[in-house]
Structure 1
Amino acid sequence: MSFDGMFTHAMVNELNTTLKGGRIAKIQQPFANELILTIRSNRKNQQLLLSAHPNYARIQITDQPFENPAKPSTFVMSLRKYITSAIVQGFRQLHNDRVVMIDLSAKNELGDIHAYTMIIEIMSRHSNIFLVNNESGKIIDLIKRVSPENNSFRGLLPGDTYQLPPAQDKLNPFKAAVEEFTDSKTAADIRNKFEGIGLDTSQELASILSTQGDPITFVQSFDDLVSPNTAKQEKNNKLGFFPVEFKNTTKIVGYYPTLGQLLDNYYLDRARVDRIEQQTKSVTHRLSIILKKDRSKIKKLEKQFKQTKIMDEYNLYGELLTTYMSQITRGEKSITLTNYYNNEEVKIKLNPELSPSENAQAYYKKYRKLQNSIPHINQQLDLANAEVNYLDSVIASLDYVDIEDVDGIIEELEESGYIKKKKKNRRRKKKKSVGERFTTSTGVSIVVGKNNIENDKLTMKLAQKNHYWLHVKDIPGSHVILESSDPDEQSIVEAASIAAYYSKARESSKVPVDYLQVRNIHKPNGAKPGFVIFEGQKTILVDPDRNLVEKLKA
C-alpha cells in the first residue's frame, strides 16, 4: 500500500494519541529531504520523522537512530529559531489528502506566545515541508525551495504566502453517503471519485462491492480497526504496508504494534540504501571509473596471454629454419619444411630481405619476447583481478552495512589510496570497538566486521585461533567470528544466518556459508584488505533473517 490519504488518516490519529501536548526538544536534519523532531511527550523522548523524499515521503514516529550533522542546514536554523521548545497542539489532515498540519505554539525572546503550523505535503517528487507563521500566513522556511520559474501555481520561497496544493475536487470517503460508493463499479472509479484513496485501498473497496459487501462499514469502522497490535505488513504480489487488514486482496505477513514500527520495518532497507547512496555518490563514481579501467585492462591482458600460446610455434620455426638452413634461399617469402617431431609439413613465412639465419633468429626473438612476457602478464592479471574483487566487495558492502558504518568504509578507501583523505577535525575521536556484537540463543558471542579493515583486524588479530570463522561462499560479505572452540549446532546456524544477512546475498535464500576454525585462515602477503585464503572448511545452507539479527544483537 502507498502512503495514501487513508494511511495518512490513520497516522494522524496515532500521532495525536502519542505526541499531542508534547514539547519539541530537538530539531535535526540528518539528510537533505528528511527532518527529525525529537518531542518530549508523556515523560519520554520520541522521534518524529518528516520525509519529503521523492520515493519515501511520509510522516511517522521512528525508533531508528539518526546522527546530527556537524553543521545545521539553513532550514534547521530557521526552525530552531522559531519552534525550539514549542508545544505540539495537535495534528490535522487536510480532508483525506496527503497533507498533514502540525499546530504549534512557541514563545519568542520576549515571552510572547505565537502560533505556527508545520505542514508536510506527501506528494512524491513534489513533497515538501513548510513552517508557516499563522498570524501572517507567510512561509518562514521550507525544506525544498522552488523558484517562480519552476512553479507558476504558488510561491515556494521564504516570505511567500502559503497556499494549499491544487484541489482535486474529490469526495472525502469519511463523509460520503452509501450510494456514492455503490455507484462506483471499478477500483478506478473509486480512485477517481474519492480523495486520498490509493490503488490497494480502491481494489479492496471494489472487492467488497463485488461481493455485495458494505464499503461504508469498512470506511466508518476504519479508525476502530487501526488499534494497537493490529498494524500489519501484508503482501499482494509484492511486500507492502497496510493500516488495517485487507481481507479480500492481501495476505498477512507480519503484525506490528504501531504504524511507526510498521513503516520502520518496511522502509529500513529502502531508506538505508538511499541514504548511503547520497553519502557515497562521489565515492562510488570514483570506484566505478577504476573498475572500468581494471576490467578493460584484464581484457587486454587476457588477449596478450592468448597470444603467448603461439610462442611454441615460433620456437619450432626457429629450430626448423636452423636445421634446414641449407635448403633456404634468400629472398623467399615462405618455405614448407618437414616437422621432424611428427613428420608433418609446416609452412613458414619468411622475410625476403633477411638471410635464412636472420629469419631463424627473428623467430627465436619473438619466442623469447613472449616467453618473458608471461610472468609480467600473470602478475598484472593477479593484481587487476585482486583490485576488481576488492572494489566489488567494497561496493557490495554498501548494500548491507548500516548508515553509521559508511564512515569506516570511506576511511578504508582513504587508507588504501583510492580516494583523497579529507582534512580531519582536530577533535579527538572516540575509539570505536571493532565489529558489531551479537549473542546466540545459547549464549555464545558473535562479532561481525562492518568493513574490510575491520574484517582483517577481527580475523587476523583479535580472534582466537580455536574460534570459528564464517563467510558466505564466493560472495562479498562480512567476516563473522563465533567466539567458541566447540560451538553447538544452533550457534553455528545462527552465526551463519548473520553472515548471510551481512552479505550481498541478503535478499536470497538457501545461502551457502563456509565455516572453519580461525587457525586455518591465512592472508597472503600484499593481499587487499579483507582477502584471506583457507582450506578444510565445512558449508551450511541458511536463510538471511533480519528478525533473528535484531533479536540476537548484544
Structure 2
Amino acid sequence: MSFDGVFTHAMVTELNKLLIGGRISKIQQPFNNELVLIIRSNRVNYPLLLSANPTYSRMQITHVDFANPDRPSNFVMSLRKNIDGAIIKEITQVDNDRIVTMTLETKDELGYKVSFKLIIEIMGRYSNIILVNKDNQIVDLIKHVPSSKNRFRVLMPGENYVFPPSSNKKNPFKDFSDLDLIDLRSSFEGLAKDTAEEIKYRMNKSEIKRVAFRDFFNEIDSNISPNVVTKNSKMNFYPIKYSSVDGDVKEFSSLSEMLDDYYREKAQSDRIRSQAENLLSVVNGALKKDKNKLKRLKSDMTKTETMDQFRINGELLTTYMHEVKQGMSSVTLDNYYDNSKITIKINPKLTPNGNAQRYFKTYQKLKKSIIHINEQVAQTQEEIDYLDSVLYQISESRLDNLQEIKAELIAGGYISKKNLPKKRKPNKDMGNKFISTDGSLITVGRNNVQNDQLSLKTAKKSDIWLHVKNIPGSHVIISDNQPSEQTLNEAALLAAFYSKAKNSSKVEVDYVPIKQLKKPNGSKPGFVIYEGQKTLITTPDLQTVEQLKKNYLDS
C-alpha cells in the first residue's frame, strides 16, 4: 500500500492522540528532504518525522536515530526562529487528500500569541513541508518551487500559499453516495489501487454494498491493526487487515512502529545513496585526475628510454670534432659502439663543441628526470590505490561511516575544510565484530580511519592481521596470537568478503602478526607495509559471514 489518503487519515488520527497539546522542543533536518520535530507531550518525547522524500514521503513518529547535521539548514533556522517552543493545537487532513495541516501557537518577541501552520504535502516527487503564517503567507519551505517550475502554484517565501488543485472527488469518510463498482478511484478521493480493490472485494462479498463500504472506513477510524504482508519477497503495509491480500503477516502496535520497520532498509539505502553521491563525485574526480597524471608520467618515462642515445651523440661529436664544421645541419660519423654509421643532427648556429655539450646537457636532464618521474609514478599509483579503497568503502558504507569517510577526505585535502564536521566523540563501535567457530574474536574495519585505528592502536602486537593481496579491502584482526587453522580460514574469508574481491573465487589473503606491520611516514590512511607474510586462498561466502556474525551476537 502507498501512503494514500486513507492511510493519511489513519496516521492523523494516531498523531492527534499523542501530540495535541505537545510542545516543539527541538527541530532538526538530518537529510535534505526530511525534518524531525522533537515534541514533548505528556512527559514523553516524540520524534515526529516529516519526509518530503520523492520516494518515501510520509509523516510518522520514528524511533530511528538520526545524526544531527553539523550545520543547520536555512529552513531549520527559519523554523527555529518562528516555531521553536510552539504548542500543537490541531492536526487535520485536507478532505481525504495527502495533505496534513499542523496548527501551531507560540509567542512573538513581545509576548503576544501568534499562530502558524506547518503544511505537509505527501505527494511523491511533489512532496513538500511548508511553514505558513496567520496571513496565509509562506514563511519558508523545504523545497522552493518558482514560477518557472509551476505556473499554477508558486511555492516561495513571501508568496501566498495555494493548495494543490482539487480533484473534486468525494471524501469517502463522509459521503457514501454513488458507489461505482467499476472504478471507485474516479469517484472517491485518496484511494490507492490496493485500497480500492479491498473495498470492492468486501462489497462483492456483502449483500448490502453500501454497508460494506461504510464498514471499511469505520474500521479505519475505530479498529486500526497495522500490518506488513510479505509475498514472493514483496512487502506492503496496511492500516487494517486486507481480506483481498494474502501472504505472511507481521503485526504492529502502531502505524508509526510499522513504518519504522518497513522503511528501515529502504529509506536507509536511499539516504546512504544520497549522502554518498557527493563523496563519490569527489573521489571519482580525483581518480580521473590521478589516472591522467599517471598516463602523462608514463609517457614521459618512454622519452627517457632514448637518453643513452643523447650521451652517445655527445661522445661521438667530441671524438670526431675535427670532422664537424660550424654551419652543418647534420654529420655522419663512425659509431664505435656497434661499428655502424650514424647520422647526428646538429645546430648550424652552434660550434662543434657547443653541439656536443647540448647533447650532454639533454642526457643529464633526462637522467635526473628519471628519479623524479619514478617518485611521481609511485606516489600517484599509491594515491590511485588509496582512492580505489575509498570508493569501495563508500559503496559498502553505513550512514555513520560516511561521515568518517567525509572527515578523512577533508583531512586529505580532497574536500574543502569549510565542510569540516564538528568534532564528534570517538566511535566506540569500532569495526564489525565476529566470533570464529572455535571462539576467537575477529574484527573487521569499516573504513581507512578504522583500519589504522584497529591495526596500529587497538590490536596487540601479537594479534594476527589479514588483508586481501593487492586489492582494496578492510583490515581484519584476529585477537589471538595462536589462532587455529579454522579461525585463520574464517578470518581470511571475512577479509575476502569485505573487499573488492567479494564476488570472486580463490582470493589470496595475506596474514602476519601485527608487530610486522609498518606505516610509512606521510602515507595515506589505511596504508601499511609488511614482510614475512603467509598467504591463504579462500572464497567469500555470505552464509558463513552471517553465521560468524550470529556467533558474536549470541556470545
- TM-score greater than 0.5 by the shorter chain: yes
Q: 2:121: which partner in 1?
A: 121
Q: 2:540 aligns with which of 530, 542, 551?
A: 542
Unaligned runs of 5+ in 1: 183-189
Q: Give aligned pairs, total.
A: 517
Structure 2 contact 388–472 (Cα < 8 Å) conserved: yes
Q: 1:79: which partner in 2?
A: 83
Structure 1 contact 448–478 (Cα < 8 Å) conserved: yes
Give runs of aligned pairs for residues 119-198 of structure 1, distance below 5 A.
119-130=119-130, 142-144=141-143, 152-154=151-153, 156=155, 162-168=161-167, 177=179, 179-181=181-183
Distance 1:194 1:314, change over 3 A: farther
User: 2-side partners of 1:529 and 1:365: how far apart?
Assistant: 41
Q: 1:363 aligns with which of 350, 359, 362?
A: 359
Q: What is the letter of the counterpart of residue 536 of structure 2?
A: K
Question: In the alignment, does 2:24 pair up with 1:20?
Answer: no
Distance 1:384 1:246, change over 3 A: farther
Distance 1:299 1:178, change over 3 A: same
Q: 2:208: which partner in 1?
A: none
Q: 1:463: which partner in 2?
A: 459
Report the alpha carbon displacement of residue 456 of structure 1 after superposing the two structures with TM.
1.8
Structure 1 contact 473–513 (Cα < 8 Å) conserved: yes
Report the alpha carbon displacement of residue 478 of structure 1 after superposing the two structures with TM.
3.9
| 1:167-187 CA-partner distances (Å, limit 9, x unpaired) | 3456889978564249xxxxx
SS in structure 2 of the partner of residue 542 of structure 1: coil
Structure 2 contact 24–86 (Cα < 8 Å) conserved: no
Structure 2 contact 94–100 (Cα < 8 Å) conserved: yes
Distance 1:513 1:126, change over 3 A: farther
Q: 1:58: which partner in 2?
A: 58
Report the alpha carbon displacement of residue 271 of structure 1 after superposing the two structures with TM.
0.9
User: 2-side partners of 1:428 and 1:303: how far apart?
Assistant: 44
Question: In the alignment, does 2:370 pair up with 1:374?
Answer: yes
Distance 1:45 1:261, change over 3 A: farther
User: 2-side partners of 1:499 and 1:19: how far apart?
Assistant: 51
Q: 1:530: which partner in 2?
A: 526
Structure 1 contact 19–39 (Cα < 8 Å) conserved: no
Report the alpha carbon displacement of residue 306 of structure 1 after superposing the two structures with TM.
0.9
Question: In the alignment, does 2:448 pair up with 1:452?
Answer: yes
Distance 1:131 1:497, change over 3 A: farther
TM-score of the superposed pair, with normalisation by structure 1? 0.70
Structure 2 contact 463–478 (Cα < 8 Å) conserved: yes
Q: 2:270: which partner in 1?
A: 270
Give runs of aligned pairs for residues 229-240 of structure 1, distance below 5 A.
230-232=228-230
Report the alpha carbon displacement of residue 233 of structure 1 after superposing the two structures with TM.
8.5
Q: 1:186: which partner in 2?
A: none
Aligned residues: percent identity? Answer: 34
Structure 1 contact 40–46 (Cα < 8 Å) conserved: yes
Give runs of aligned pairs for residues 162-311 of structure 1, distance below 5 A.
162-168=161-167, 177=179, 179-181=181-183, 230-232=228-230, 242-243=236-237, 258-275=258-275, 277=277, 293-311=289-307
SS in structure 1 of the partner of residue 182 of structure 2: helix
| 1:262-318 CA-partner distances (Å, limit 9, x unpaired) | 21211212212324557x69xx65x67665654443333222111001113223434
Structure 1 contact 138–161 (Cα < 8 Å) conserved: yes
Structure 1 contact 63–264 (Cα < 8 Å) conserved: no
User: 1-side partners of 2:51 and 2:506: how far apart?
Assistant: 35
SS in structure 1 of the partner of residue 382 of structure 2: helix
User: 2-side partners of 1:194 and 1:490: how far apart?
Assistant: 63
Give runs of aligned pairs for residues 506-521 of structure 1, distance below 5 A.
512=507, 514=509, 516-517=511-512, 518-521=514-517
Moved more, 526-535 or 399-408: 399-408
User: 2-side partners of 1:297 and 1:541: how far apart?
Assistant: 35
Distance 1:440 1:64, change over 3 A: farther
Q: What is the letter of the counterpart of residue 269 of structure 2?
A: D
Distance 1:136 1:429, change over 3 A: closer
Question: In the alignment, does 2:388 pair up with 1:384?
Answer: no
Moved more, 333-342 or 72-81: 333-342
Report the alpha carbon displacement of residue 320 of structure 1 after superposing the two structures with TM.
4.6
Q: 2:28: which partner in 1?
A: 29
Q: What is the letter of the counterpart of residue 243 of structure 1?
A: F
| 1:215-249 CA-partner distances (Å, limit 9, x unpaired) | 9779988999x9656344876xxxx7533799999
Distance 1:247 1:519, change over 3 A: farther
| 1:17-36 CA-partner distances (Å, limit 9, x unpaired) | 58833456644223343111
Q: What is the letter of the counterpart of residue 516 of structure 1?
A: Y
User: 1-side partners of 2:477 and 2:64: how far apart?
Assistant: 26
User: 2-side partners of 1:549 and 1:197: how far apart?
Assistant: 46
CA-atom RMSD in angstroms: 5.5
Structure 1 contact 233–262 (Cα < 8 Å) conserved: no
SS in structure 1 of the partner of residue 302 of structure 2: helix
User: 2-side partners of 1:32 and 1:194: how far apart?
Assistant: 33
Distance 1:488 1:332, change over 3 A: same
Q: What is the letter of the counterpart of residue 452 of structure 2?
A: D
Unaligned runs of 5+ in 2: 206-211, 253-257
Structure 2 contact 435–549 (Cα < 8 Å) conserved: no
Q: What is the letter of the counterpart of residue 448 of structure 2?
A: N
Report the alpha carbon displacement of residue 76 of structure 1 after superposing the two structures with TM.
3.8
Structure 1 contact 139–161 (Cα < 8 Å) conserved: yes
TM-score of the superposed pair, with normalisation by structure 2? 0.70
User: 2-side partners of 1:445 and 1:542: how far apart?
Assistant: 19
| 1:57-105 CA-partner distances (Å, limit 9, x unpaired) | 333444431133575521244332323xx47x7774753x5x1426668
SS in structure 1 of the partner of residue 539 of structure 2: strand
SS in structure 2 of the partner of residue 537 of structure 1: strand
Give runs of aligned pairs for residues 348-497 of structure 1, distance below 5 A.
348-354=344-350, 358-394=354-390, 397-413=393-409, 415-416=411-412, 421=417, 430=425, 432-433=427-428, 435-436=430-431, 438-440=433-435, 444-471=440-467, 474-485=470-481, 486=483, 489=486, 493=490, 496-497=493-494
Structure 1 contact 50–120 (Cα < 8 Å) conserved: yes
Distance 1:91 1:511, change over 3 A: farther
User: 2-side partners of 1:62 and 1:54: how far apart?
Assistant: 19
User: 2-side partners of 1:441 and 1:172: how far apart?
Assistant: 60
